[in-house]
Amino acid sequence: MDKPGWDYKQAGVDIDAASTSVEMIKKWVGMTRRPEVINDIGAFAGFFALDAAKYREPVLVSGTDGVGTKLKIAQMMGIHDTVGIDLVAMCVNDILVHGAEPLFFLDYIGVGKLQPQMIEMLVKGVSLGCVQAGCALIGGETAEMPGFYSEDEYDLAGFAVGVADRHRLIQGSRIEDGDILIGLPSSGLHSNGFSLARKVLLEHAGLKLAERPQDLRQTLGETLLAPTRIYVKPVLELLKKVDIHGMAHITGGGIVENLARVLPDGLGASINTSAMEIPAVFSLIASSGRVERDEMYRTFNMGIGFILVVSHTDADRTLESMREQGEKPRIIGEVSRETGGVRLL
């Protein structure tokens, strides 16, 4: 008798596990639901009915990103329910820069072996991030790719769509000489610079994720896995009170490159680094790898995850609003016509 032929499961793709995963994530997806969502998970596409009556000229603002090699830390530690927050944060903070309210989010998960419990934890993190951002998780894709990833490896990508009125879009064009730069603290590395951090801390210095180096409040692994902060709700509230001239999400390239992206031609900025509270993990990276100051500031956020650019007449009101919402804002610099580019003091 001939042996049975090959099937998809023998090739490494488990359709039953995929179905199980969908059932396990429904409760997490459900917690992100907004009234505008008009279908349930499992359809071929997500439906979102935009309330156009709320906007004179609605403009959809979109962003996409991933988590990068921070995923290696999560996989090494076996902790999978925080990197989904990072994924959402990297996307929604980018569209927030332009004054857009995040509406909905979609995710993509590529895995070597589909493990329903791990998928549930990943989607749990995405859902928690969506709740923080006030957006709905309306769809996604999970792809099992044996031979492409190892069994315990995965990658994440995300896609956010938001909305803003055309006349309220923020693109930095109204930034003026003398405007004040207000920084909002990061939670640590967020999701940038991990290739350098891993090379320096784990390979060069030989530190272990389970140990707690001097000055760190948590283990090294917990410190590195701290989720990226989501600034959506406090900034959207601020937009109701203050005419924000510009904003910058501080990601790869640090303050220098990301702030420069929103400054009009002919304007620069001075950053008073002594006004920043720099988390201990950055000092640990710098000392462990003898990383030069300029390299640190062009690779990492150095403790500032988001920058608001406001008129000097609105600075106090901005600080007060942020504090009322539990933020710890700091005046970190000023826009200047005399400054060439973004200068660190």
Confidence of residue 45 (pLDDT cuts 50, 70, 90): confident
Last residue of a domain, one of 119, 140, 168: 168
Q: Domain check: are 134 and 188 in the same one? A: no
The stretch 106-134 carries a mean pLDDT of: 91
Nearest alpha carbon to residue 306 among 158, 137, 92: 92
The stretch 185-212 carries a mean pLDDT of: 93
In the block, which residue shows the tokens 């990276």?
285
pLDDT at 34: 72
Q: Domain check: are 132 and 229 in the same one? A: no
Confidence of residue 342 (pLDDT cuts 50, 70, 90): confident
pLDDT at 12: 58
Residue 8 has pLDDT above 60, yes or no: no
Confidence of residue 47 (pLDDT cuts 50, 70, 90): confident
Residue 67 has pLDDT above 90, yes or no: yes
Q: How far is CA 57 from CA 94, 163, 260, 281, in A?
A: 21, 10, 28, 44
Whether 108 and 143 have beta carbons less than 8 Å apart is answered as yes
Whether 229 and 186 have beta carbons less than 8 Å apart is answered as yes
Task: Please report whether residue 4 resides in a domain.
Answer: no
Q: Domain check: are 221 and 329 in the same one? A: yes
Nearest alpha carbon to residue 192 among 254, 283, 256: 254
Q: Domain check: are 205 and 139 in the same one? A: no
Query: Percent of the chain having pLDDT more than 70?
Result: 90
Residue 16 has pLDDT above 60, yes or no: no
Last residue of a domain, one of 144, 168, 192: 168
The stretch 100-116 carries a mean pLDDT of: 91
- Containing structural domain, residue 118: 15-168
pLDDT (tens digit, 9 = 90+) per residue, 157-186?
A: 999 999 999 999 999 899 999 999 999 999
Q: Domain check: are 319 and 240 in the same one? A: yes
Name which of 31-35, 58-62, 128-132 the model is least confident about: 31-35
Residue 191 has pLDDT above 70, yes or no: yes
Query: Across the chain, what does the average pLDDT equal?
Result: 88
Q: Domain check: are 104 and 186 in the same one? A: no
pLDDT at 144: 85
Confidence of residue 202 (pLDDT cuts 50, 70, 90): very high
Task: Please report whether residue 175 resides in a domain.
Answer: no
pLDDT at 211: 92
pLDDT at 147: 86
Residue 11 has pLDDT above 60, yes or no: no
Residue 62 has pLDDT above 80, yes or no: yes
Which of 24-33, 83-92, 115-124 shows the highest mean pLDDT?
83-92
The stretch 258-265 carries a mean pLDDT of: 91
Confidence of residue 35 (pLDDT cuts 50, 70, 90): confident
Q: Domain check: are 308 and 234 in the same one? A: yes
The CATH number linked to 279 is: 3.90.650.10
The CATH number linked to 85 is: 3.30.1330.10
pLDDT at 107: 93
Longest dimension (CA), the chain: 86
Question: How many structural domains is the chain composed of?
Answer: 2
The stretch 33-40 carries a mean pLDDT of: 77
Residue 151 has pLDDT above 80, yes or no: yes
Instruction: Indicate yes or no: pTM above 0.85.
Output: yes
Q: Domain check: are 38 and 152 in the same one? A: yes
Last residue of a domain, one of 138, 168, 198: 168
CA–CA separation, 103 and 97 (whole Å): 15
Q: Domain check: are 185 and 47 in the same one? A: no
Confidence of residue 233 (pLDDT cuts 50, 70, 90): very high
Name which of 9-23, 91-105, 301-315 the model is least confident about: 9-23
Task: Please report whether residue 3 resides in a domain.
Answer: no
